[in-house]
Chains A and B, each alone.
Chain A
Amino acid sequence: MSNGTRTENFRSWFMDKLLMGMSWPEYSRRLITPFNMVAAIILSIGIPLMAIRFVYGLASVTHASNEYPWGILLGWGLFGGVPLSATGFVMGTAYYIFGFKGYKPLVRLGILTGFLGYLFAVIYLMTDLGRPWRIYYPMIIGFGTASVLFLVAWHVATYLTVQFIEFSEAILEWLKSRRVYKWATMIVIGMTIAGIILSTLHQSALGALFLLAPGKLHPLWYSSYLPHLFLSSSIYAALAMVIVVSTLVAKFLPGAADNNFLRNLDRLTVGLGKGACVGMFVYFALKLVGVAHDNNWYLLGTPYGEWFLLEILGFVLLPAMMLTYGVKNSSPGIVRFGAFYAVIGVVLNRINVSIIAFNWNLPDHLHHIIPPWQEFAIVAAIAMIHMLIFRWIVNRMPVVREEPEYKELH
């Protein structure tokens, strides 16, 4: 083979795989869209701020206080992001273990959402860690086996690997690799069960982290049921999140999806909505049991009690009822609305536990929890990179469409 054909081969591979079959000028022209302009602005503010954080320390851009060691980087990125990333484990379990074969068009989307969600939870965490280059320390340097965070660290690391292996099917199909691909499909059941173990444990562990602070977290949010509450809400959050993500893909990236995905989406959305609303009623009941268990009814009349009621009535019960209504009337539109709403409710709960109800008894508490704009800008930039990478992958790899030559292998 001459050098010339090799270059030509690479060129066509590059255009096919990375530029979606377009030439450079064509591809770069296609990049100029309103969304990308907004993304460019957000990144041009957030990325320099990230650089400042690593050169001048956390104090230069974050809230960084001794009473409030954790801010929105973790409240949003880790505590809010991880339940919404249960999509991989929930869809994988439903499809591979419980045999909900009809949901096949959404399985890979769920796994990709989960994988990227965890990856970015780790990125938020590494932005917030004092010495992120020591991230591997719980694996090698010291074992704090009595620490819930030790468990979280191990599980998130292992689960990230598991999800990468699960998603590698799509990557290998994209690269048209046959041999490795077969191996990857063989271990999928094992990986799915590993995913169930790791997910149930660390989703609940994120709640268990706060069990160590009974004096700081408001009694309405502090409950010995915190691990159960976090796990139970992550399951409906995942179902709702699959609805949200699939809606966005169908709306904004229809070219990446095949007919099988687009045609079945409405029906599957209603099915997922059914699962989500059952999950939400279970969670709502568990929330009430939590209040009853500690006999905290008397706190409901206080300002924090009103906020708590708003959370569980306005952001759990109401979206649950909306989903029920949508499911009863087989209306994918209402189910989608309810799912967006439910996802917001889960994030609100995590922000409440980690930020708003935490340190509630300190003077001037609500004044202290407002982060500086720089911290918001960093969060916005990381979220934007997350979306861009998601879009990049969905546009190129077989996530919401099937590669014809691999169909028979599933």
Chain B
Amino acid sequence: MPDAGTQGSPPRLGGEPHARAWRGTGWGFIVKLVIMAAINAVGLAIVWASYVEGSWGILVGMLALTVAADWVYFSKRSLPSKYIFPGMAFLLVFQLFTMVYTFNVAMTNYGTGHNSTQDQAVDALLIQNERAVDGSPAYPLTILQRDGELGFAVVAGGQVQVGSADSPLASAPDATVDGDQVTAVSGWDVVDRATLLGDQALQRQVLDLRVPVSEDADDGSIRTREGTRGTVYRSMLEWDPQAETLTDTETRVVYRARDNGRFVADDGTALPVGWQVYVGFDNFVRGFTDTNYAAPFWRIAAWTFAFAILTVATSFLMGLVMAIIFNDPRVQGRNVLRMLFILPYAFPAFLSALLWRGMLNANPDYGIINDLFFFGTRIEWLNDPWLAKLAIIGVNLWLSFPYWFLVCTGALQSLPSDVLEAARIDGAGRWRTWTSVMPPLLLISTAPLIIASFAFNFNNFTIIYMLTEGHPRFTDTSAVLGHTDILITMIYQISGVAGGRADYGLASALSIIVFLVVGVISAFAFRRTRRLEEIL
């Protein structure tokens, strides 16, 4: 927030100390103090919360931001940063950091099955491989609840023992028992059977609940299958922290920790849960060589370029031709025409794509395009690989021609008249003017926009996902990818952020490739546009 504080203090008089020049507090200063107090309060609250959670990265980042904010707004020497800081703070966290972090993730095997640290993977594996201990008695069990936390009370040898996921079983002498049923425990509410049967979410929680028998994890834990009897479960795997091995206690197979973040036995079988490790450039190699991804990758990359180039070319040409036709003072009602022309541009793009999805429906009873313009023929616009591509370019043409119409009209109206006049005096006819004089002049003002539009369409997630979702699917690969997928939708699909199997590492590696492509094109473009400007 730009500093409003100094407006309370008049200009400094010949060498008088700043404190003397103080003439009371202006409103601006009070507002600034209140805002800064709020920022500090929020900042410190987040620092404290991350300390409690043990999230050191967030702690350091938030502390740095808070200190920087205080320095910027209370120092006399940082005038420009008072204006730049707010935007810069958001930019640092949500754009620069995430870009750098993308590189970091691309070097790891982060994803489904490789979500966390080795310790957490071991814990998860130990839990997954729990089995009921042979010969363990089934204890009568009652379900308890307090503040949203669940617990078990078991009756063992006439004694009531109570525990929860975090606290091992301990005897509760003050509990009242009716036969096998515990009816009251101090500090807990008893969950009766009717409540349990009526609440599916609660049932799942009860099935997942593990109450340790004692502080020693090897003693196993109490679990229940139906909510009335509890059995001791113990893990079939044994963890040896020194050797970093998990041993199956039944088959005596030893699973060793490997560099790729998995426990693998000598015969090659691996346990399902792994952990996150750095894999270097493996993800990049995988993108090009993996049998599932390599072939689709090249086809999708080619289509991405084709789509971006064709969509910009068609809509630019259409907009240009329209601008040339209607940039004519003799045409009446140009304002009305212009307003009607830009209607598709003023209609939100995601709605347009969804709308065309319905209009292009293959069934002529549903799809108005087939019904009205193709005499009710059943044309599978969105289910045929080539027609779907054509449909995407056509719909995007409808979406974006008004933009180019506006841009080209503006560019035509600002053409330097002296150059055109000079061309006429030199004997250039109308055609000659259009082919040789106008294009370079037009390109100066529109070239940066053409490049920007190309870069935008290269990552135009909305139109593809809303119109076809990448369909029709490739039939020669098991990856969930299709003929109209572009790179960004492929990345989205692989990343699994919206559900499904997640592979953050591979997806990040692919998005870095897109980063590079977009960066190279933009850099090249900026050099070319500068060259165009130098010509004139």
Partners in one complex: no
**Interface set of B (CB-CB < 8 Å, partner A):** none
